[in-house]
């Protein structure tokens, strides 16, 4: 059970530290944690956000526990040297194409949502975001037009095999839940989305036990606020998934509670909280580590098939929340380490 631990920038080291404490407390046989540098921290130390030695550590592990990358001081670097290239590089180099982002309302936490308690209480959904295509990896640039004006451009595209691959992940996930899959696109405007919809419909023939629906992304954003309980599994592209999953996090109260998994076609995966590096609060003990701790639970479940310890972690987090353990993001005053202590005590 070899796990690469890439803490990264900002609050990444703080929240990752608490997740590592939880993993160690489980006394799992064969557990080995190997640290590596990513992001702005790696650029300062090695001159690149994803140095070769870090990539080597990743390839030798069975899974990656990732903190966060992002550093205001690196914003003016050339794009290929910016901290965010670490996570994009890992996704590309390791074939991490399926991003699983669950959003579920914890019992007793309904008051932390921006939605009415009776609406928020029904949230139990899984957003599956395709990670290797779309505008994130398409050709892009800034050019000067003949009249002297600058123009930025980004190419959005999907090949049908990329859509087919992520569609299968969505249907299989729905089979293990309530049997409902909603494919989100913008097929009324984008040819990329029309292909997406056509391929998802083709794949649906292989899953007669799953009910497929389609929704335009603007309507999906509205419905996540109006009636989030209607969703079971949502499958969508890279850009739309990025936006909708962050929106879903606030529907359940805080982005500090949402874990994620980025999976390859094998059992290998990268696991991280969906929040960013938050450099403005780094080092102050204000970050909520629960999303990272829950990411560690997803790591055990999906990459190592360790369902029992994964469920223990999730139960410990749920109990801590039910007992009123809340960081500043949830209106409480518990520090990062105090939240980690509380989860460990309940574990």
The half-sphere exposure of 194 on its side-chain side, counting CA atoms within 13 A, is 4
What residue has token string 């007793």? 108
Strands 233-236 and 2-8: unpaired
186, 207, 271, 329: the catalytic one is 186
136, 158, 207, 271: the catalytic one is 136
Residues 6+ apart with CB under 8 A from 297: 259, 309, 310, 311, 313, 314, 317
Is 209 a residue of the active site? no
C-alpha span between 163 and 200 (Å, rounded) = 7
Q: Where are the alpha helices (DSSP H) in 47-132?
A: 52-60, 85-93, 117-120
Beta-sheet strands, E only, within 40-149: 63-68, 98-104, 124-130, 140-144
C-alpha span between 26 and 107 (Å, rounded) = 24
Is 216 a residue of the active site? no
Closest of 4, 139, 33 to residue 79, by C-alpha: 139
Is 136 a residue of the active site? yes
75, 111, 218, 280: the catalytic one is 218
134, 185, 242, 329: the catalytic one is 242
**Which DSSP category does 270 fall into?**
E
C-alpha span between 99 and 258 (Å, rounded) = 13
Strands 32-35 and 180-185: unpaired
92, 104, 216, 246: the catalytic one is 246
Tokens of 329: 């993001």
Quickly list DSSP for 182-205.
EEEE-TTT-HHHHHHHHHHHHHHT
CA 51 to chain centre: 22
| Active site amino acids | 136, 186, 218, 242, 246
């Amino acid at each position: 059970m070899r796990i690469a631990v890439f803490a990264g920038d900002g609050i990444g080291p703080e929240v990752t530290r608490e997740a590592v404490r939880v993993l160690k407390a489980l006394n799992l046989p064969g557990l080995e944690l190997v640290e590596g540098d990513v992001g702005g921290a790696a650029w300062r130390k090695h001159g690149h956000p994803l140095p070769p030695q870090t990539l080597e550590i990743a390839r030798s592990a069975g899974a990656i526990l990732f903190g966060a990358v992002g550093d205001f001081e690196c914003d003016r670097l050339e794009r290929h040297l910016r901290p965010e290239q670490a996570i994009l590089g890992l996704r590309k180099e390791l074939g991490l194409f399926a991003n699983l982002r669950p959003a579920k309302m914890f019992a007793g936490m309904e008051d932390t949502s921006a939605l009415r308690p009776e609406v928020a209480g029904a949230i139990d959904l899984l957003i599956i975001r395709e990670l290797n295509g779309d505008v994130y990896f398409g050709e892009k640039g800034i050019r000067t037009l003949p009249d002297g004006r600058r123009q930025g451009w980004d190419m959005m595209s999907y090949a049908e095999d990329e859509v087919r691959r992520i569609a299968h992940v969505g249907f299989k996930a729905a089979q293990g839940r309530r049997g409902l899959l909603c494919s989100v696109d913008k097929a009324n405007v984008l040819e990329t989305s029309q292909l997406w919809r056509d391929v998802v419909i083709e794949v649906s023939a292989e899953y007669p036990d799953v009910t497929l629906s389609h929704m335009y992304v603007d309507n999906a954003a509205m419905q996540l606020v109006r009636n989030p309980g209607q969703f079971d599994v949502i499958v969508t592209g890279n850009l739309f998934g990025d936006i909708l999953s962050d929106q879903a996090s606030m529907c359940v109260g805080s982005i500090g509670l949402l874990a994620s998994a980025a999976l390859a076609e094998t059992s290998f995966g990268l696991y991280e909280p969906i929040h960013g590096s938050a450099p403005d609060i780094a080092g102050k003990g204000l970050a909520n580590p629960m999303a990272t701790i829950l990411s560690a639970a997803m790591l055990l479940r999906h990459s190592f098939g360790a369902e029992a310890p994964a469920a223990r972690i999730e139960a410990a987090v749920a109990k801590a929340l039910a007992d009123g353990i809340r960081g500043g993001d949830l209106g409480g005053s518990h520090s990062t380490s105090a939240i980690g202590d509380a989860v460990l005590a309940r574990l």
